[in-house]
Amino acid sequence: MSGAGANGGADASEDQKAPMNVAKECLLAALRSDPKSAHAWVNLANSYYMMGDHRSSSKCLEKVLLAHFFVLRLFIVFLILDRRVSIT
């Protein structure tokens, strides 16, 4: 297998798991500081994925999608209220 995460998960050696855990902990700390950081959520999802934790990875990606969906809805409401877009 090739690509991102090819050496992650159950096949990862102990040498590979240590940096992945450090990255995960740093990203968790960053998210405690800024829980709306889409970049940090995506990178955390990638870290979980590379460690073979696909459930946690997908939960991180869901948070990004839900946050951006909320922002998009607010933008649409703003446009409607600003009368730049008609509802018909």
| pLDDT tens digits for range 21-60 | 999 999 999 999 999 888 999 999 999 998 889 999 999 9
Q: What is the pLDDT of residues 68-87, one digit of tens each?
A: 787 777 777 777 777 655 55
Residue 48: partners with Cβ closer than 8 Å, 6 or more residues away = 24, 54, 56, 57, 60
Provide the CATH number for the domain formed by 9-81 in this structure. Answer: 1.25.40.10
- Helices and strands, number each (H, E), in the chain: 3, 0
> Does the pTM exceed 0.85?
no
Q: Where are the domains of the chain?
A: 9-81
> Long-range contact list for 13-17, CB < 8 A, 24+ apart?
17/51
